[in-house]
Structure 1
Amino acid sequence: MTREPPGCRRVNSLMLYTLRSITSHRSSHPERCATSSQDAFRAFHPDLEFVGKFLKPLLIGELAPEEPSQDHGKNSKIIEDFRALKKTAEDMNLFKTNHVFFLLLLAHIIALESIAWFTVFYFGNGWIPTLITAFVLATSQAQAGWLQHDYGHLSVYRKPKWNHLVHKFVIGHLKGASANWWNHRHFQHHAKPNIFHKDPDVNMLHVFVLGEWQPIEYGKKKLKYLPYNHQHEYFFLIGPPLLIPMYFQYQNMMTMIVHKNWVDLAWAISYYIRFFVTYVPFYGILGTLLFLNFIRFLESHWFVWVTQMNHIVMEIDQEAYRDWFSSQLTATCNVEQSFFNDWFSGHLNFQIEHHLFPTMPRHNLHKIAPLVKSLCAKHGIEYQEKPLLRALLDIIRSLKKSGKLWLDAYLHK
């Protein structure tokens, strides 16, 4: 038996809401929030009363009873149980931040950058000190990437404005990237994970085909931009090495310039000024530029493998209009907990819990995991958790499987 969640038939002027949100930065997900009663809206916004002030004047009305709803297939019992689970998490204070935890994360990033500079300062700019410095800086960049993710999700401070401010500092000054660019991409991913045409993370620009539906569609239409039956092989040459130094770095700069995100651009420039001032004395301008891109190259491998092990191996398909809980479990999986796995992935090894509760501080995700498992067992939903090595290998297996589906459809359908 299914029924609609209360309030899900309200309609707001989202275009106006989006415009106001972009200028005020009050809401993280304007394009996804038609009503504050939806689980997605509740998941993204820790202060519902505050955000509700911006929605109220934009209310147009409610759909007439005879109007069709996209919520007809959602299981009301799962929705009810998930909301009870979130209430339990709130009662357990799992949305409360341990600020020392995040200060230590920031401190260890700064320490890594200091060690990198000291290495080349003390030992010189030979090949061995340079390689050591590059790996240390790539580590600091990866860890800064996980840290900006925390602030971007408003999971550190109670007031959104403080999260936004520190987010710009970490992603801008420590990484040279745009907070607005990240927000726009990442929030769409969270709202509709692994959904074609809605999740930008599965838009592979015809370089790869993912899941089961897309390769078959490409095969039927005789689309062959690349030999997809070999994508599990050329992934090593195109995916991890090039995503950050080529695609993300270019897209970041173009987004800030085209959309006139001057504040983000100023933060990003401060990173590049700091980097060049620090390393030009050792490598010169051209050498420092090459050094920077080598660090991006190393970081890109880390980023791609960690982010893809939780999603690319799961169902990737068109919109199925599932309830919030089911849609996140279908698109995400976990990696087993250990001190190294937590640090290496920025606690994104708890991807399921993070997607269900994106504003929950990452140090509490392991505490809610047993309750999520119980809810999955109750409703017969698979909760996937695997060792780190298997999770990484599954990326290649998934690409190989999709490539075979494409080849079969291309040749025989």
Structure 2
Amino acid sequence: MGTECGRDRFFTWEEVQRHCSRTDRWLVIRRKVYDISEFSKRHPGGARVIGHYAGQDATDPFNAFHIDKTLVNKYLKSLLIGELAPDQPSLESWKSKPATEDFQELCALVERANLLKPNKLFFAGLLTHLLLLDAAAWLTLWYFGTSLIPFLISTALLTIVQGAPASWWNHLHFQHHAKPNCFRKDPDINMHPIFFVLGKKLSVEVGKQKKKYMPYQYQHKYFFLIGPPALLPLYFQWYIFYFAVQRRQWVDLAWMVSFYIRISLTYVPLLGIRDFLMMFFLVRFMESNWFVWVTQMNHIPMTIDHDQKEDWLTMQLHATCNVHQSLFNDWFTGHLNFQIEHHLFPTMPRHNFHKVAPLVKSLCAKHGLEYQSKPLFTAFADIVHSLKDSGELWLDAYLHK
């Protein structure tokens, strides 16, 4: 138990680290120790994302995810149970104190420079761009008819316009940001090891355990069949509704229903029910291909492992890489080519990534952390190469270890 000094209770890191189970969770923010065991169930961001830091220092992720810290601190007061003893370091012993301190200085600079504030004109332009594409898709069919070429052009335009409910996206995406490429913590790698074996270490583990759910030595080939084409039409399409009902996100549910009503009323009179359904699922199919290639090019080729409890900067650099900046790459990826900056500053508006990138590069160089950036099609190819390498590692371990 922690020792008491007046009204304060002091704890060691060893004591904090023992509280990391599903029902007993402590974490540290700015040397203060909080018991989140009960609160995690009511956490607005979900129990999982906050639970990923149970028994650990959570200062940097706390700062990264919460914009209105004054409001959040009101919740924290009731959860405070003490602080780290004066002889305890602010970080766990295996984390890099110099890198963490320099990154926190960079965060302070980012805030002073207002790089976390959105440019309303930029997002107004983005909305206008999407509305114009939406209108162009309908006008193409209305003016040129519903033959094959206009049909395909309209489908391509609608694919660019598609999106996802904010609450569902944040629920999964914040977990991914909190512990990227960490097995059992990052939902983006939940396909391991059922459909794919991922990473050099995890693939060998599965091989040694003699697990074979799929012929993983061929995963770089069947990826083209069950990866990009199937994720949105066969999984996300129904899961977003399940999530909205399960989490009682009635506003999101209402917006989704209104979207399906609007798109049906817009296109069924032009296409008929059969061709409309064909267009809708073709849009989802194309969107799924885009989504998987663009989101996974920054992560699948990187380190994938169990949670190594690294400091925020090191963890994000090991799990993410960038794609070279260009007008096309920025537009085509929705600025996800700046994946490193997106992960380090998840609430930063996308139009500011290029401004902070040189500062992040300089920080990485100072601390010997690799800042990877590559061409777009190299990044796509690296997904396939990494799957092939992981499959071969699994096969070798499966047969010989």
- Compute the TM-score of the two structures, normalised by the length of structure 2: 0.87
Q: 1:87 aligns with which of 105, 108, 114?
A: 108
Distance across 2 between alignment mates of 1:394 and 1:21: 36
Distance across 2 between alignment mates of 1:37 and 1:47: 17
How far apart are residue 134 of structure 1 and its match? 0.4
Say whether the 8 Å CA contact 1:373–1:383 is kept in structure 2. yes
Call closer, same or farther: CA 1:381–1:295 in 2, change over 3 Å. same
Q: 1:191 aligns with which of 151, 160, 178?
A: 178
Q: Which 5+ residue runs of structure 1 have no aligned equivalent?
A: 146-170, 172-177
Q: Deviation per CA, 1:278-310, whole angstroms, max 9, x where unpaired?
A: 111122223322211110001111111110111
Matches within 5 A, 1:340-351: 340-351=328-339
Matches within 5 A, 1:143-292: 145=163, 171=164, 178-204=165-191, 206-292=194-280
- Equivalent residue number for residue 122 of structure 2: 101
What is the DSSP-based 3-state SS (H/G/I as helix, E as strand, rest coil) of the residue aligned with 2:115? coil
- Equivalent residue number for residue 93 of structure 2: 72
- Equivalent residue number for residue 10 of structure 1: 33
Higher helix proportion (structure 1 or 2): 1
- Equivalent residue number for residue 373 of structure 1: 361
Stretch of structure 1 that moved more, 283-292 or 192-201: 283-292
Distance across 1 between alignment mates of 2:387 and 2:317: 20
What is the DSSP-based 3-state SS (H/G/I as helix, E as strand, rest coil) of the residue aligned with 2:34? strand
Q: Which 5+ residue runs of structure 2 have no aligned equivalent?
A: 1-11, 14-27
- The residue type paired with residue 286 of structure 1 is R
Distance across 2 between alignment mates of 1:385 and 1:61: 42
Distance across 1 between alignment mates of 2:91 and 2:399: 36
How far apart are residue 276 of structure 1 and its match? 0.5
How far apart are residue 37 of structure 1 and its match? 6.9
- The residue type paired with residue 114 of structure 1 is A
Regions of 4+ moved over 3 Å: 3-9, 27-37, 60-70
Distance across 1 between alignment mates of 2:384 and 2:57: 40
Say whether the 8 Å CA contact 1:244–1:296 is kept in structure 2. yes
- Equivalent residue number for residue 164 of structure 1: none
Distance across 1 between alignment mates of 2:222 and 2:291: 18
- The residue type paired with residue 368 of structure 2 is G
What is the DSSP-based 3-state SS (H/G/I as helix, E as strand, rest coil) of the residue aligned with 2:229? helix
Q: Deviation per CA, 1:22-78, whole angstroms, max 9, x where unpaired?
A: 6xx9x9965457799701100111221121111211223346789999822111111
- The residue type paired with residue 411 of structure 1 is L
Q: Deviation per CA, 1:354-403, whole angstroms, max 9, x where unpaired?
A: 11111111111111111111111111111101111111111110110001
Note the aligned Cα RMSD (angstroms).
2.6
- Compute the TM-score of the two structures, normalised by the length of structure 1: 0.85
Higher Rg of the two aligned structures: 2
